[in-house]
Amino acid sequence: MSSRPVENVWDYPRPPSIEPSDEHLVVVLGGLTIADTSASYRICETSHPPTYYLPIDSFADGVLRRIDGSTWCEWKGAASYFDVVTPARTIRAGAWTYESPTDGYGDLLGHVAIYPGKVDSCSIDGETVQAQEGDFYGGWITSRVTGPFKGAPGTLGW
């Protein structure tokens, strides 16, 4: 359990906040550690567990393969995507980035978010993350955050 204070996602702001994090993040796919950092950013938005953006250079060489396509976030702008690739597994569109983030989110430049439910595991300060429900969301749930969380069936209109 984290020694950091517990947060309720209903206390997070809208539009979402961005804050630096020194939590130790580790991402594993195909039995390999593909990312490891203690210098990330958290996006905290009402009803969502935090989404973590890791520096692109914290990813192992060759695991992020840029793909065509984009989506639009009303707060952060156009997101572009990566396949996440190891010799054992490939996760289609498993990570995303903002190459030209909107005003207020410029710190995301050069950072990549990953869907924790699509990889073998993600951890924060040694605690294994539970993925936010839904195939669109990339929130990281630990004992540090309480909900209920958007993403489960019936929560689309929240």
The top-level CATH class assigned to 7-141 is: mainly beta
pLDDT (0 to 100) of residue 52: 98
- How far apart are the C-alpha atoms of 98 and 108, rounded to whole Å? 7
pLDDT (0 to 100) of residue 134: 84
Tell me the pLDDT tens digit for each residue of 39-78: 999 999 999 999 999 999 999 999 999 999 999 999 999 9
Q: Would you state the structure tokens that stand for residue 37, as one six-digit string?
A: 């950092």
Q: Provide the residue ranges of all domains of the chain, joining segments of one domain with +.
A: 7-141
Q: Would you state the structure tokens that stand for residue 143, as one six-digit string?
A: 């004992």
Q: What is the mean pLDDT of residues 116-127?
A: 97
Exposed/middle/buried for residue 87 (C-beta within 10 Å: 0-12, 13-18, 19+): exposed
Whole-number percent of the chain with pLDDT over 90:
91
Q: What is the pTM of this model?
A: 0.95
